[in-house]
Chains A and B, each alone.
Chain A
Amino acid sequence: MKISQLSVFLENRPHSLLEPLQALAAAGIDLSGIALADSEQFGILRLVLRDWARARGLLQSGGWAVTVTDMVAIHVEDQPGGLVRILEVLAAAGADIEYMYGFFVRRSGRVAMLFRFARPELAIAALEAAGITMLGEDALY
Chain B
Amino acid sequence: MLKERWNDRAGGFHPVSAPDFLPRQQLREVQSHRLQAVVGRAWDKVALFRERMQARGLTPDSIAGIGDIAALPFTTKADLRDTYPFGLFASPMDEVVRLHASSGTTGKPIVVAYTREDIEVWTEAMARTFAACGLHRGDILQNAFGYGLFTGGMGTHYGAEAIGAAVIPVSGGNTERQIMLMRDFGVTAVCATPSFFVHLVEKAGEMGVDLRDLPLRTGVFGAEPWTDGMRERIQAETGIEAFDIYGLSEITGPGVATECACHDGLHVLEDHFFPEIIDPVTGAALPDGEEGELVLTTLSKRAMPMIRYRTRDITAILTAPCGCGRTMRRIRRISRRSDDMFIIRGVNVFPSQVEAALLAVEGTVPHYQIVLTREHGLDRMTVEVEVTPEVFSDTVRAMEELRARIGHAIEHVLGIRVGLRLVGPHSIPRSEGKARRVIDKRQD
Give the B-binding residues of A (Cβ under 8 A): 5, 7, 9-12, 16, 37-39, 41-42, 44, 46, 60, 63-67, 69, 98-99, 116
Contacts and interface: CB of A to CB of B under 8 A. Distances in A.
B291 to A, nearest CB: 41
Interface string B390-434: 001111110110010000000000000000011111110000000
B394 A42 contact: no
A63 B424 contact: yes
A46 B403 CA distance: 20
Contact of A63 (B397, B422, B425): B425
A9 B403 contact: no
Contacts of A60: 389
Contacts of A37: 396
A66 B393 CA distance: 9
20 contacts: A7-B393, A11-B422, A11-B423, A16-B424, A39-B396, A42-B399, A42-B422, A44-B394, A46-B394, A60-B389, A63-B425, A63-B427, A65-B389, A65-B392, A65-B424, A67-B392, A98-B397, A99-B395, A99-B396, A116-B395
B418 to A, nearest CB: 14
Interface centre among B392, B396, B400, B424 (most CB of A within 10 A): B424
B399 A11 contact: no
Contact of A7 (B394, B403, B423): B394
Contact of B394 (A12, A16, A38, A69): A69
Contacts of B395: 44, 98-99, 116
A34 B426 CA distance: 24
- List the 5 closest pairs (A to B, CB-CB), nearest first: A7-B394, A65-B392, A63-B426, A69-B394, A65-B389
Given A11-B422, A16-B424, A64-B424, A39 B400 contact: yes
B159 to A, nearest CB: 49
A99 B395 CA distance: 8
Contacts of A67: 389, 392-394
B347 to A, nearest CB: 24
B62 interface: no
Given A39-B399, A42-B399, A44-B399, A116 B425 contact: no
A65 B388 contact: yes
B299 to A, nearest CB: 50
Nearest to A118: B395
Given A9-B425, A42-B399, A99-B396, 19 more contacts: A5-B394, A7-B393, A9-B422, A9-B424, A11-B423, A11-B427, A16-B424, A38-B396, A39-B399, A41-B421, A42-B387, A44-B394, A46-B394, A63-B424, A63-B425, A64-B425, A65-B425, A67-B393, A99-B395
Contacts of A12: 421
Contacts of A116: 394-395
Interface of B: 387-389, 392-397, 399-400, 403, 421-427
A69 B389 CA distance: 13
A116 B395 CA distance: 9
B394 A41 contact: no
A62 to B, nearest CB: 9
A34 to B, nearest CB: 14
A5 B392 CA distance: 14
B389 A11 contact: no
Nearest to B423: A11
A23 to B, nearest CB: 13
Given A65-B387, A65-B388, A66-B389, A11 B424 contact: yes
A50 B389 CA distance: 22
Contacts of A38: 396
A34 B392 CA distance: 19
B248 to A, nearest CB: 37
Contacts of B423: 11
B401 to A, nearest CB: 12
Contacts of A39: 396, 399-400
A99 B394 CA distance: 10
Tell me which of B387, B389, B394, B403 has the highest count of chain A C-beta atoms within 10 A of its own C-beta.
B394
Contacts of B393: 7, 67
A135 to B, nearest CB: 20
Contact of B424 (A10, A41, A99): A10
A38 B388 CA distance: 18
Contacts of A46: 394
A9 B396 contact: no
Contacts of B403: 41
Contacts of B394: 5, 7, 44, 46, 67, 69, 116
Contacts of A98: 395, 397
Contacts of B396: 37-39, 44, 99
A124 B392 CA distance: 25
Contacts of A7: 392-394
Of residues B388, B392, B397, which shows the largest number of chain A Cβ atoms within 10 Å of its Cβ? B392
Contacts of A65: 387-389, 392, 424-425
Contacts of B400: 39
A65 B393 CA distance: 9
Nearest to B424: A11
